[in-house]
Structures are given as structure tokens and as C-alpha cells.
Amino acid sequence: MITVIAGVALFLLATAGLLAYQNSRLITEQEADSTAVPTGMLMYSVINERFLENEERPEAVPLFQYTVLSEPGEQLSPGETGTTFALCRVPAGTGEMILWDAQNWMVNNIRKAAIQGVLMEHSGFPDKAARKGEKELIVNLEATVKEETGHADSY
């Protein structure tokens, strides 16, 4: 009789352990899924090329760009334009960043360039913004450039 009770207790303990393991695995998967960025939201990339105001490309729609020099006080030869970083909206799922990360990346790099004294010029493309967040991004980046270069208007 004791053997049967011990066997049942051992079976119940093993079953409880298995259920606890499966439950913890499910919780871990759900947490990973909730923190992962859906690939459809990865629709922003920074491209190292200059875009013109009227330029249209289906693979990259420019929202904001800035140009830097290699070193402070560098003199460019005729035809040289420095290095341009353009934040672009790309087809959903093909980008490297979500909107928030793209804005943070641009702000950090604009600040670094301003501190180093190599920030040369910038331009936003508000007419190409397709969402409210993109319009806010352009306004925020332009304000950051003005603030970092010491030309910010007082509010």
C-alpha cells in the first residue's frame, strides 16, 4: 500500500514539474514576442547619399538629411559635398529601425557632429512625410540642428 501511495505521489510530483516547466517556457515565449518589434514596423534606414528636393524613389523616401565634413574647418574641393546621412522611409520590413530608434540615432549623430564642429548643412522633407510621427520627427530633427549649432529661436 505504501508503495502505491509513493508511486502516486511520485507521479503527481513529476506531472507538476512538467507542467511548471511548460508554463515557464510559454511565459518566456510570450515575453519575447511582446518585446520583439514587428518586422512591419522596421521601415526606416539611414543611407549615406544626398537626396534632392524633388527626388522620388520607391525604395527610399528621404525625410531628413544632414551633411558633415571629415574634420573641422575642412575645405572642400569644387564638386565635393562632404558626407551626407539621409534618414529614409523604406518598404515595411526592409529597414533597420523603427521611427523612435531612427530619431534617436539621428539626434545623437547630429549632436556629435555639432560638438566636433563638422556639421555643415541639413534639410528636411516635410512634404514627403506620410504619417504624423514622421512630421514630428522632421520638426524635432530640425530643432535639434538649430539648438546644437546655436541658432535656436527662443520660444
Q: Are 71 and 127 in contact (CB under 8 A)?
A: no
Mean of pLDDT over the chain: 81
Q: Which amino acid is at 28?
A: T
How far, in Å, CA of 112 to CA of 34, rounded? 33
The pLDDT of residue 154 is 42
Q: What are phi and psi of 52, to 5 degrees?
A: -90, 160
pLDDT-based confidence at 118, cuts 50/70/90?
Answer: confident
pLDDT-based confidence at 81, cuts 50/70/90?
Answer: low
12-32 pLDDT, tens digit per residue, is: 899 999 888 988 888 887 776
The pLDDT of residue 72 is 64
What's the Cα-to-Cα distance from 88 to each of 26, 36, 71, 144, rounded to whole Å?
A: 37, 22, 25, 18
> What percent of the chain has pLDDT above 70?
83
How far, in Å, CA of 30 to CA of 18, rounded? 19
Among 2-11, 21-30, 76-85, the least confident range: 76-85
53-71 pLDDT, tens digit per residue, is: 777 777 888 999 988 876 6
Mean pLDDT score, 90-98: 86
| 153 pLDDT above the threshold of 50 | no
How far, in Å, CA of 11 to CA of 17, rounded? 10
